[in-house]
Amino acid sequence: MKTGLKIATIGGGSSYTPEIIEGFINKKLSGELPIKDIYLVDIKEGKEKLDIVGNLAKRMVKKAGADINIHLTLDRREALKDADFVTTQFRVGLMEARIRDEKIPLAYDLIGQETTGAGGFAKAQRTIPVILDICKDMEELCPEAWLINFTNPSGIITEAVLKYTKIKVIGLCNVPIGMVSMVAELYGVSSDRIYIEFGGLNHLVWGRKIYKDGIDVTKEVIDMIKDGKAFSMKNIPNTQWGGELLDALGVLPCPYHRYYYLTQEMLKECKEQAEKEGTRGEVVRKLEKDLFQLYKDPDLAIKPPQLAKRGGAHYSEAAVNLINSIYNDKKDIQYVNVRNDGTILDLPENVAIECNCVIDKNGAHPIHIGHMETSIRGLLQIVKAYEELTVEAGVKGDYKAALKALTIHPLVKDASVAKKVLDDIIRENIEYLPQYK
C-alpha cells in the first residue's frame, strides 16, 4: 500500500463538503487513513462556493491539527491524476435544475421528486453524460482508483458506470445507514447494536430482517412505527404508513416507499408544500444560502450543526467508512450499490442493486439474497426495468427508451402524460443533454 493517499472530490463546492472533510480528518487523526492530499474540484459556475467551502475545509484541517493538504481547483484532470479514491457529489444544472425537476411533473399532477419518478429521470439524463466523461478521464489518469458515487440517482448512475466503463465503482446512499440509525433511536441504543438485512434498489430498499443484539426484532419495529413513531428523513414528509400496510408487507419499507405506497397522499403533500413554502429544492436553496453565509465566517473551523437540516445526514459516515474498509481490507459489512451478479435472483445479473456487502481491498461483495418476497418482487422488477431503460436513454439519447422508461414508472404510468413530461424535460434541460441534440 502506498502511503499518503490522494482523494479527489468532484462537486467540492457542495454544502455537504464539511461533512466529508470532518470524516476524513477523524480517520487521519485515528491513524487509519494516511490521507495526504484532498482535491476539491468544481466547475466555473461553482467557483464562489468552492472557495467558501474550501477555505472552511482548510480551517477545519488546521484546527484539528491534521496534516492534510486541501487543494481547490477547477481543473478536473489535475484533481484526478494519480488519485486513489474519487468521490462524486455533483449536481448538473445546480439547484435551478432540481427545482425544474420538481415543478415539471407537478404541472401534470405527478409527484415531483429529485431522485424518483419523472424528476429523478430528468436528473439522471443530465448526470449520465458527465459521469461517463469523468470515468473516461479516470481510465486515463487514475485507472486503479475507486469511484465512490454519491451523486443521485445513485443506483442509476452507478449502473451506467458499471455497464459502460472499466472503472471500479461502488454507489452510496445515506438511506440504509439512516434507517439503521432510526431503528437505534427507537430503542435508545447505539447504531452498532442494530443490524438490518437490506435488499432492493437505491431509494427502493426494504429492511427484510431487523436484529438488535443479534435477536430478530422485525415485528417489534414494525409495531412501533404502526403506533406513529417517526420514521422518515429531512427531505421526505413523515406521512403515516397505516398499520394494515406494514403488517401485510412484514418488512420495513424505506422512507422513499411512501411515494409508491401512498402516492395520492404524497402528491397532495408535494402540492401543498410547493404552494406554501416552495418545492423541496426551493427550501434547500434558501437553507444553502444561509449555510454558505455561515461558512464564510473566518472564525468557523468545524462542521456547523446547521448542516444537519440539509438532509444528507450520515453521508460522510457512509463514504468515509467505505474508503476506510477498502484501504484497510476490513471485511466488515456495509450497505452499498453494486452489480447484482445473481444476488437477487429476480433481477438481471448486470444491473445495480442495493444490499449488504462485505467490504475488503477488492471492493464490495454482496451477501446472497435469493428470491424476494412476492409483495416486493413486482414493484422491484418494474422500477428496475425503468432504471435499465433510463440508463440506455441517458447514454444513447434514445427518445424511445426514454418514453418507455417514463411510461412504465409507477409514478407516471400513462403514455400520453409521459410523452408531454419527456418533451418538457428535454426542452427545459437541452443545454445539459448533449446526447439528445
Catalytic positions: 256
Task: Tally Cβ neighbours within 10 Å of residue 272.
Answer: 11
Q: How far apart are the first and last CA of the chain?
A: 45
3-state secondary structure of 320: helix
CA-based nearest residue to 387, from 138, 179, 154:
154
How far apart are the C-alpha atoms of 61 and 66, rounded to whole Å? 5
| Grid cell for residue 249 | 408487507
Q: How many helices (H) and strands (E) does the chain have?
A: 16, 13
Whether the Cβ atoms of residue 311 and residue 233 lie closer than 8 Å to each other:
yes
CA-based nearest residue to 192, from 46, 376, 321:
321
How far apart are the C-alpha atoms of 415 and 419, rounded to whole Å? 6
* Chain-centre distance for alpha carbon 140: 26
Peptide bond into 153 cis (omega under 30): yes
Quote the longest CA-to-CA distance of the chain. 59
**Beta 146-149 vs 168-171: how paired, if at all?**
parallel
Helix (H) or strand (E) holding 207: strand 204-212
Whether the Cβ atoms of residue 111 and residue 117 lie closer than 8 Å to each other:
yes
Whether the Cβ atoms of residue 409 and residue 121 lie closer than 8 Å to each other:
yes
How far apart are the C-alpha atoms of 135 and 148, rounded to whole Å? 12
Tally the residues of the chain. 437
211 contacts: CB under 8 Å, gap ≥ 6: 194, 195, 196, 197, 217
Q: What is the CA radius of gyration of the chain?
A: 21
